[in-house]
Amino acid sequence: MVVGLSFMSKVCPVICYEDLVASYSNNLETQTRGFSAGLPWLETWVPDDDVLASINNLIEAAQNGGIDSVALSVKMETLKLLSENNLAAHFSHLGKIFIRSSDAKVIMEISDLHKAMLFSDVRDYYKMPLRQRHDNLRFSLNAPHDAIGFENQNGLLWFQLSQQESLVRGAGFLPSPSCAPSLAAAMDILCEIIIGLPLLEVREHAIVKLEYRLRDPEKNLPVQGIILPQNADPLFLNVGALLTGSLHKSEVFKVREANFYDPGPSKDWIARSPSDREIECQHAVDSASNELLGYQKGIRIIDAHKPYAVTIKFEGDAAVGVKRKAALEIEKILRRACEPRLEVFCLEMKDTSQLRRL
């Protein structure tokens, strides 16, 4: 995400990245003791042949050096094919980013470095959504008299149940003074997630949903294999302690029935005619064609008569691997643009053999 901070360069002079690297290299050859990168707040910086890693190190060095904002100019030649969006996404966990291009250079302004450091206890994968949420906590509310709550050293989590005691109708989290900002933000989002859910669904899937919601698709995955709250980040253990503690104040752990909760498609989506749904899905696919891995000219929506399903057809030629990847991408696009519960299918292939009959 790109956040505008055009005023910043007025208070923070723009540093030329290439000059800094040249100065560093020169100092390496001329200074034996008391080596310095050239600026007092860059003591921990070491340039890297990988320009992204090098700039990342530089911003972190600024953070460690007590600086709250940095402005950097980098030649496009140095950045090679990296776009402004690539850069913004790559450094988003380090602070607020504003990027502009000028005279074959890219000017990057990174601010709020002090605040971003407060989230250094969580992986980069989750930092940006947490930092953004911390600017606007919506559920930091006192508990009503009928709330069920649990308090530990990090704060108080409470929720209210509907009269039938099956649905969560209200929730809040009051962080303690010692609560990490990352946890306060995560709990705030958790409250938003659980409101409206059956308590059994909260017990079984609230933390999985929270972990998924906090993912930043631009960042490297936290693990190589399967991402679970248990291996994703210690943050989720702290969330789990508060949630489990509060749920134990209810009867939900005595429930033995299976949880079949599924929100299903929205009423609005169900109410539309199949042809309207097809048109909207086709429009969404066409609009997002640049995301479809080079398959933008040959994908047709051919059926949406079931409100949860969309059938697509690849009309042009493409490698089968491209089609596989595109099919999953289309589902993500349609869920984002049309209806979160949609499933994408390709055309079914029938078994035409004589022996196996259906």
Residues that bind other proteins (CB under 8 A): 203-205, 208-209, 212, 221-232, 240, 244, 258-260, 262, 308, 311, 320-321, 323-325, 327-328, 330-331, 335, 343-351, 353-358
Write the single-letter amino acid at 51: V
- E-strand ranges in the chain read 14-16, 70-75, 96-102, 105-111, 148-152, 155-161, 168-175, 299-303, 309-314, 343-346
- On whether the CB atoms of residues 207 and 193 are closer than 8 A, the answer is no
**Distance between CA atoms of 215 and 126, rounded to whole angstroms?**
6
What's the angle, vertex CA 152, arms to CA 148 and CA 155, rounded to 5? 75
Closer Cβ to other proteins, 49 or 351, answer by number = 351
Burial of 350 (C-beta count, 10 Å sphere; 0-12/13-18/19+): exposed
Give the nearest distance from C-beta 120 to other proteins in angstroms: 21
Give the nearest distance from C-beta 78 to other proteins in angstroms: 28
Give the nearest distance from C-beta 95 to other proteins in angstroms: 27
Closer Cβ to other proteins, 166 or 231, answer by number = 231
Handedness of CA 50, 55, 56, 60 (dihedral sign): positive
Closer Cβ to other proteins, 53 or 223, answer by number = 223
Closer Cβ to other proteins, 81 or 358, answer by number = 358
Give the nearest distance from C-beta 231 to other proteins in angstroms: 4
Give the nearest distance from C-beta 201 to other proteins in angstroms: 9
Q: Record the tokens describing residue 79, joined without a space.
A: 């950045």
Write the single-letter amino acid at 17: Y
Residue 327 Cα distances to 311, 312, 314, angstroms: 10, 8, 9
Closer Cβ to other proteins, 14 or 255, answer by number = 255
The number of residues making up the chain comes to 358
Give the nearest distance from C-beta 225 to other proteins in angstroms: 5
Q: Give the alpha-carbon dihedral of 275, 277, 282, 284, to 10 degrees.
A: 160
Interacting residues of 305 by C-beta distance below 8 A, sequence separation 6+ = 274
**Tokens 């643009």 belong to residue:** 337
Give the nearest distance from C-beta 247 to other proteins in angstroms: 11
Give the nearest distance from C-beta 179 to other proteins in angstroms: 23
Give the nearest distance from C-beta 333 to other proteins in angstroms: 12
Closer Cβ to other proteins, 117 or 322, answer by number = 322
For residue 143, what is the DSSP state? P
Closer Cβ to other proteins, 115 or 215, answer by number = 215
- On whether the CB atoms of residues 47 and 64 are closer than 8 A, the answer is no
Residue 158 Cα distances to 3, 169, 171, 247, 254, angstroms: 34, 11, 6, 9, 19
Give the nearest distance from C-beta 355 to other proteins in angstroms: 4
Closer Cβ to other proteins, 118 or 208, answer by number = 208
Closer Cβ to other proteins, 53 or 328, answer by number = 328
Residues forming a β-bridge with 195: none
Q: Record the tokens describing residue 40, joined without a space.
A: 């007092």
The β-bridge relationship of strands 168-175 and 155-161 is antiparallel
Handedness of CA 88, 94, 97, 101 (dihedral sign): negative
Closer Cβ to other proteins, 219 or 325, answer by number = 325
